């Protein structure tokens, strides 16, 4: 070991900078210890204690910079003494990147943006209630994406919000569009005269994208979360949302989307609707249509709303999209003609729960028999094993038994890809029905996820697919359509149309 020293005259650095430089020197290969200090008596004592005081330093003054190094060889020590200059240069040259402050709480965020008006909350359910309560305290509207929020908490939050004139969308609210801004899993839709209140996230996405693709647009789309229309909650957000749209000058037609509300809640909705001046289109999936503008499917609701805006009949609006019944019948006949004997069932592998329900309704309306589902809501039989299809089967891959410990199937396609391959190998299967949901938050490249498995499947079965989204979505609906069509899939304009094509194929093969 050698000890070497150097004096740098007239160089002032604060002690912390010097300690950093000394630390860098100590980390150099072959350097055992290093000190870089101003030459005060006190510092010379420190050097002495560390055995780094060399004869060079005897004549030093307070304003000299002293560099002491203990190293394995003279060369290393010399290199370290020289390296100090560069290190000091770098310290002085360091530029502050000035990264913006990330607040740690809602209150901290409101220090930064005092006029924020909505809190989008997606923290774990057991904490979400407290965070939402704080947002209401601070006068913010809330979109609560989190699920697993206790029902009691949901009721407390919603009553408080109602009394304050605020909205609590959710818990378990996946989608909303406020002032044209998509929140959560939403699509880039046109702005326009149609307002939506929805207790179903995918239902909201389907209606809003169809409206947009039909050339109209959305004023506001308010999500409520699925529990809202249950008696326990009483439809607080649903009713407040409806009232807000009724009072909104930009909203010319209102669409209500929900799975069947509880009777008392439905009663309140009816009463509220009676006092609304705009036309109200409603789709309470699985119930008989309500009033003159009641619908049985999501697409029908979208068509009807746009028709009212345009002053046309819904049938006339359908032509705005491709499709129409004639195209569907042509496709059905072709698929049926291409099947070999024994192929007769439909397998619907859905990522949207509402789309699974809609498939069940459409299949029932077509008179299809022997329908099974892991989430039956009407006439379908419950699957014993959600992993094993029976006859005509509808599987909601977004239900709990599939999503524990893995992302939602709109994000992670792996489970569905495997299931498509399995179903295609079943000699009894004629057609596979899929939904692809685009928009913010969903998988950014669904076409590449499905490409290979669809190409392989269409050599054995037909693949019919709806694509919920717009051309302005990050995935670009047109591009996804083209890619999947190239892979051999038949693309429908709506989930309704896809269900009808697939259901009709199975129905025709059933009676054949």
Partner 1 sequence: MLVGDLFRQELKVVNIGLSSFKESLDEVGAQAVQVDWRPPMDVSDESRRIVGEHAKEIDAANAKVMDIILRGMPQRVGMARAIDVVPGMTSNMILHAGPPITWERMCGPMRGAVIGGLIYEGKATTPDEAEKLAASDEIEYAPCHEHSTVGPMAGIVMPSMPVFVLKNEEFGNSAYCTMNEGLGKVLRYGAFAPEVIEKLRWMDSVLYPVLDAAIADVGPIDLKNLMAQALHMGDEVHNRNRAATSLLYRAMAPAIVRSCSDDRQAVEVLEFINGNDHFFLNLSMPACKVTLDAARDVPGSSVVIAMTRNGTDFGIQLSGTGDEWFTGPVDVPDALFFPGYTKEDANPDIGDSSITETNGLGGFAIAASPAIVQFVGGTTSDAIQYTLEMYEIAAAENTVYQIPYLNFRGTPTGIDVVKVITKNILPFIDTGVAHREPGVGQVGAGVLSASAEPFTRAFEGLAARLAK
Nearer to partner 1, 49 or 263 (CB): 49
Question: Contact, 383 vs 349, CB < 8 A?
Answer: no
Q: Counting contacts by CB under 8 A, is residue 89 touching partner 1?
A: no
- Minimal distance in Å, beta carbon 22 to partner 1? 6
- Minimal distance in Å, beta carbon 382 to partner 1? 33
Question: What's the token pair of residue 274?
Answer: 């009676």
Q: Counting contacts by CB under 8 A, is residue 183 touching partner 1?
A: yes
Q: Can you tell me which of 57, 80, 145, 344 binds partner 1, judged by CB under 8 A?
A: 145
Q: Which stretch binds partner 1 (CB under 8 A): 3-11, 165-173, 367-375, 378-386?
A: 165-173
- Minimal distance in Å, beta carbon 114 to partner 1? 9
Q: Which stretch binds partner 1 (CB under 8 A): 72-80, 109-117, 270-278, 287-295?
A: 109-117
What region does 303 belong to: left with phi over 0, alpha with psi -120 to 50, or beta?
alpha
Q: Which stretch binds partner 1 (CB under 8 A): 3-11, 102-110, 201-209, 285-293?
A: 102-110
Nearer to partner 1, 178 or 349 (CB): 178
Q: Which stretch binds partner 1 (CB under 8 A): 136-144, 318-326, 427-435, 445-453?
A: 136-144
Q: How far is CA 241 from the centre of its chain?
A: 22
Q: Counting contacts by CB under 8 A, is residue 107 touching partner 1?
A: yes
Phi, psi (degrees; rounded to nearest 5) at 283: -135, 100
Q: Counting contacts by CB under 8 A, is residue 188 touching partner 1?
A: yes
Nearer to partner 1, 50 or 310 (CB): 50
Nearer to partner 1, 45 or 82 (CB): 45
Q: Counting contacts by CB under 8 A, is residue 35 touching partner 1?
A: yes
Q: Which stretch binds partner 1 (CB under 8 A): 71-79, 131-139, 258-266, 308-316?
A: 131-139
Task: Give Cβ neighbours of residue 90 (< 8 Å, ≥ 6 apart).
Answer: none
Query: What CA–CA distance (Å, rounded) separates 350 from 410?
Result: 9
Query: What CA–CA distance (Å, rounded) separates 448 from 199?
Result: 31
Nearer to partner 1, 247 or 325 (CB): 247
Which value, to the nearest 10 degrees, does the dihedral of the CA atoms of residues 135, 152, 402, 189 take? -40
Q: Can you tell me which of 140, 371, 432, 489 binds partner 1, judged by CB under 8 A?
A: 140
Task: Please give, one letter per residue, the 3-state secondary structure of 235-295.
Answer: CHHHHHHHHHHHCCCCCCEEEEEECCCCHHHHHHHHHHHHCCCCCEEEEECCCCCCCCCEE
Q: Which of 275, 285, 305, 300 is nearest to 226 (CA)?
A: 285
Nearer to partner 1, 157 or 178 (CB): 178
Nearer to partner 1, 29 or 101 (CB): 101
- Minimal distance in Å, beta carbon 248 to partner 1? 6
**Residue listed under structure tokens 């007769």:** 344
- Over the window 286 to 325, marking each residue x when it contacts partner 1 by CB under 8 A and - when it does not, the resulting string is ----------------------------------------
What region does 317 belong to: left with phi over 0, alpha with psi -120 to 50, or beta?
alpha
Nearer to partner 1, 33 or 370 (CB): 33
Give the number of other Cβ atoms within 10 Å of residue 204's Cβ.
31
Residue 171, preceding bond cis, omega within 30 degrees? yes
Tell me, by CB under 8 A, how many residues bind partner 1: 79
Question: Contact, 176 vs 169, CB < 8 A?
Answer: yes
DSSP helix/strand/coil, 76: helix
- Over the window 37 to 66, marking each residue x when it contacts partner 1 by CB under 8 A and - when it does not, the resulting string is x----x--xxx-xxxx--------------
Q: Can you tell me which of 39, 294, 441, 503 binds partner 1, judged by CB under 8 A?
A: 441
Q: Beta strands 175-178 and 181-184: pairing type?
A: antiparallel
Nearer to partner 1, 20 or 287 (CB): 20
Nearer to partner 1, 241 or 294 (CB): 241
Q: Listing from the earlier edge strand, what are the strands of the sheet with 181-184?
A: 181-184, 175-178, 218-223, 191-198, 253-258, 280-284, 294-295
- Minimal distance in Å, beta carbon 234 to partner 1? 17
Q: Which stretch binds partner 1 (CB under 8 A): 33-41, 262-270, 372-380, 486-494?
A: 33-41
Q: Can you tell me which of 120, 256, 383, 481 binds partner 1, judged by CB under 8 A?
A: 120
Nearer to partner 1, 178 or 368 (CB): 178
Q: Counting contacts by CB under 8 A, is residue 117 touching partner 1?
A: yes
- Minimal distance in Å, beta carbon 224 to partner 1? 13
Q: Can you tell me which of 10, 93, 98, 405 binds partner 1, judged by CB under 8 A?
A: 98
Q: How far is CA 445 from the centre of its chain?
A: 14
Beta bridge partners of 128: none
DSSP per residue over 110-169, as a string? HHH-TT--EEEE-S-HHHHHHHHHHHHHTT-EEEE------HHHHHHHHHHHHHHT--EE
Q: Can you tell me which of 9, 61, 90, 127 binds partner 1, judged by CB under 8 A?
A: 127
Residues in 363-422 at the binding interface with partner 1, rule: CB under 8 A: none
């Amino acid at each position: 070991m050698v000890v070497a020293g150097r004096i740098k005259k007239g160089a002032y650095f604060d002690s912390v900078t010097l300690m950093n430089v000394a630390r860098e020197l100590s980390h150099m290969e072959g350097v055992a210890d290093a000190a870089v200090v101003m030459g005060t008596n006190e510092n010379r004592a420190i050097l002495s204690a560390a055995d780094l005081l060399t004869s060079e330093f005897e004549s030093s003054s307070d304003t000299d910079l002293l560099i002491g190094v203990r190293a394995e060889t003279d060369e290393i020590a010399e290199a370290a003494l020289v390296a100090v200059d560069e290190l000091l240069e770098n310290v002085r040259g360091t530029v502050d990147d000035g990264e913006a402050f990330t607040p740690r709480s809602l209150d901290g965020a409101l220090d930064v943006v005092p006029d924020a008006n909505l809190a989008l909350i997606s923290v774990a359910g057991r904490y979400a209630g407290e965070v939402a309560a704080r947002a209401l305290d601070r006068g913010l509207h809330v979109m609560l994406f989190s699920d697993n929020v206790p029902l009691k908490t949901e009721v407390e939050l919603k009553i408080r919000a109602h009394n304050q004139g605020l909205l609590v969308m959710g818990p378990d609210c996946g989608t909303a569009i406020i002032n044209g801004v998509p929140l959560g899993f939403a699509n880039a839709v046109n702005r326009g005269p149609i307002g939506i209140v929805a207790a179903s996230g995918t239902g909201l996405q389907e209606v809003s994208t169809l409206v947009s693709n039909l050339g109209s647009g959305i004023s506001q789309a308010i999500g409520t979360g699925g529990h809202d229309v249950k008696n326990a909650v009483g439809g607080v957000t649903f009713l407040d949302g409806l009232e807000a749209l009724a009072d909104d000058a930009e909203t010319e037609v209102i669409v209500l989307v929900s799975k069947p509300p509880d009777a008392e809640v439905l009663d309140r909705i009816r009463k509220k609707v009676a006092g609304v001046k705009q036309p109200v289109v409603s789709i309470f999936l699985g119930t008989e249509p309500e009033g003159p503008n009641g619908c049985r499917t999501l697409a029908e609701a979208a068509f009807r709303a746009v028709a009212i805006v345009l002053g046309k009949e819904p049938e006339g609006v359908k032509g705005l999209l491709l499709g129409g019944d004639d195209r569907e019948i042509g496709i059905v006949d072709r698929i049926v003609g291409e099947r070999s004997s024994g192929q007769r069932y439909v397998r619907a592998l859905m990522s949207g729960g509402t789309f699974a329900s809609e498939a069940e309704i459409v299949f029932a309306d077509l008179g299809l028999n022997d329908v099974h589902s892991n989430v039956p809501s009407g006439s379908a039989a419950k699957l014993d094993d959600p992993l094993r299809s029976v006859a005509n089967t509808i599987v909601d891959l977004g239900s709990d038994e599939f999503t524990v410990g893995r992302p939602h199937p709109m994000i992670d396609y792996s489970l569905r890809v495997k299931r498509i391959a399995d179903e295609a190998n079943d000699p009894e299967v004629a057609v596979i029905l899929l939904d692809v949901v685009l928009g913010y938050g969903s998988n950014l490249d669904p076409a590449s996820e499905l490409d290979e498995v669809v190409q392989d499947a269409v050599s054995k079965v037909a693949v019919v697919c709806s694509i919920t989204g717009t051309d302005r979505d990050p995935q670009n609906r047109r591009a996804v359509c083209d890619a999947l069509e190239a892979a051999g899939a038949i693309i429908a304009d709506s989930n309704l149309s896809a269900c009808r094509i697939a259901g009709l194929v199975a129905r025709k093969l059933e009676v054949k």
